[in-house]
Amino acid sequence: MDTNQLAQTILEKVGGEKNVTSLVHCATRLRFKLKNRDIVDKAQVEAIPGVVTVMESGGQFQVVIGNMVPEVYEAIGAISNLTNDDSTETTTNKDETIFGKFIDLISTIFTPLLGVMAGAGILKGLLSLALNFKLVMPDSSTHIILNAIADSLFYFLPMLLAITAARKFKANIYVAVAIAGALIYPTIIELAASPKAVHFFGIPIVMVKYTSTVIPIILAIYVMSIVEKFLNKRLHQSIKNFITPAILLVTIVPLTLMIFGPFGVYVGNGIASILTAIIAFNPIIAGAVIAASWQILVIFGLHWGIVPVMINNIATMGKDPLKPSTAISVFAQAGASLGVMLKTKNKEFKALSASAALTALFGITEPAVYGVTLRLKRPFLIGILSAAVGGGIAGYAGSAGYASGPSSILMIPAFYGPNGEGFVGFLIAIAVSFTLAAVLTYLIGFEDIPSETTTETNNKDTIQPTTSVQSETIASPVNGVLLPLSDVKDKAFASGILGSGIAVVPSTGEIVSPVDGFVTVAFKTGHAIGLLSDEGAEILIHIGLDTVQLDGQYFDLKVEQNQHVKKGDLLVAFDLDALIAAGFDVTTPIIITNSTNYEDVIPTEKQETQMGDRLITLL
């Protein structure tokens, strides 16, 4: 499927232009804000040739297609009126949490700048290397020009953030840039550096330096957007085009200098100080934890909450101690993909793994994570472990990032500081994490994806997995409507990382045993139960999403751990109406947690199910 066909198909499957509020993109994803999510079949979008996977995070419907994103984005623009700052119409997702809105805010503001940040960061790193090896002199005109090229983005960062923030908050972009320009105006910078007290109509101002800052301008543009909407509703059409900007400039700039600016700077400095203290307490553990958790955060879209912290660290301290660990996690997943490529017998999957490993080295990790390591589960976990080792090494070496941008092999120079401190340690860390992930993946192995040749012939050189489980039929434990596991609004279940299975939206408040077997896990909260069938199947039944926070309210557990049960025995009773009234998603995943022990896990194709019906067949 060519780019134009892919663009048209994706747009059709998300409900057409009329169902899209806004569309932006990052390096690998088209990020849709949809007016009506319910009319979109996620499985159909994922089935489009060229689509790696689909994710939902921060109120965005994210279609992952790899490095073809810019071309597909342009193709969508050619057949629609969707642009970066398209419709002024807004929709409110009442189900979206405050944290989800925060993640959406951060990703929308920072995503358009990541590419140019990466380019400028590479130049800054190369310039530091050139200075260290005396290829250029610090007082030469050549260095002055190159430094201006590399550093201008970071120096004038408030002006660029003003543009993206204004787009996000639906504010006047040109007024926003003018406000940012006032904050970094030369005479304002001189006032900040002066020991003299500064007053505005007799009101004292605590002056701070706003170049390279992040938080103050975002706060300023947010307040500006509120004031602008207020004024535009009340001023006559004939004067609001010039009166509104004048009022905004004369109010927002002083308010920022007096309130938002100092507050934002102090918050930023406080965050930087706290992180510095934590890392200084035990840099090895801190580096290992950050590196190990980063790809998990990326999967759930939670990493966007940390991106502004890293940018703020560079603005306030001149370097960021978190950046090396996040970069190391990328190299670890690339190494795990390489290990898969070396181990797999499937020729098509071998080619996919090789391509994914290469693109991961250049900062595009989605094909490696979603197409290879997470799909096989074990290589993903090996990548996490290897990243932790590398993160610990980088922490011990005192490595840091000196420029922002997506982590890749091209960004390595951005980790070289003014005196090269920690750079060698960082190089060792990425080499160790990459190599360790590749070697462990190859040695430990994984449940390979069978090819036609390996399934049709008896290859004596291929080690067949030994297992004590037998073919088995799993009955339905509950009445309700069936959903593919991929449609569950929880990535831990939907990604398949916990195992294969199916989900049920219950119509009654009882869960019965789907097999003869033992209760292996009986949470006192009643929200989940684990079983081991007499035939060897390990089954997890999770009643609703996030229901653990109810701490047992509305649930009545009827069995105990290690109790033997018969198929049809009542396991849990729950108040279905109360759960729905409390706002919980009652979708109930039924997972075969040892699904890798089976050649195939086949969910029923029925739309509805009753207790005792065939739900899953294990072969």
Q: Where would I find the H helices in 497-591? A: 576-581
The answer to whether the beta carbons of residues 566 and 512 sit under 8 Å apart is: no
CA angle 165, 166, 170 (to 5 degrees): 120
* Residue listed under structure tokens 């088209």: 30
CA atoms within 13 A on the CB side of 225: 16
Those residues whose C-beta lies under 8 Å from the C-beta of residue 194, and which sit 6 or more positions away, are 207
Structure tokens at 362: 């250049």
Closest CA to 475 of 519, 516, 529, 536: 516
Count of Cβ atoms closer than 10 Å to residue 377 Cβ: 18
The question of whether 300 is a catalytic residue gets the answer no
Count of Cβ atoms closer than 10 Å to residue 147 Cβ: 16
Element (H, E) at 22: strand 20-25
The answer to whether the beta carbons of residues 400 and 415 sit under 8 Å apart is: yes
- Cα–Cα distance for residue pair 562/518, rounded to 1 Å: 6
Structure tokens at 184: 């970094």
Residue 202 is given by DSSP the state T
* Residue listed under structure tokens 């070396």: 342
- Cα–Cα distance for residue pair 557/521, rounded to 1 Å: 12
Structure tokens at 395: 């922490």
The answer to whether the beta carbons of residues 151 and 126 sit under 8 Å apart is: no
- Cα–Cα distance for residue pair 522/525, rounded to 1 Å: 8
β 517-522/528-533 pair status: antiparallel
Sign of the torsion angle spanned by Cα atoms 236, 241, 247, 253: positive
From first CA to last CA, the distance across the chain in angstroms is 34
The greatest distance separating any two alpha carbons of the chain, rounded to the nearest whole angstrom, comes to: 89
Among 7, 14, 20, 26, the one annotated catalytic: 26
- Cα–Cα distance for residue pair 618/616, rounded to 1 Å: 7
Count of Cβ atoms closer than 10 Å to residue 271 Cβ: 16
Q: What phi and psi, each to the nearest 5 degrees, are found at residue 98?
A: -60, -40
Active-site residue numbers?
26
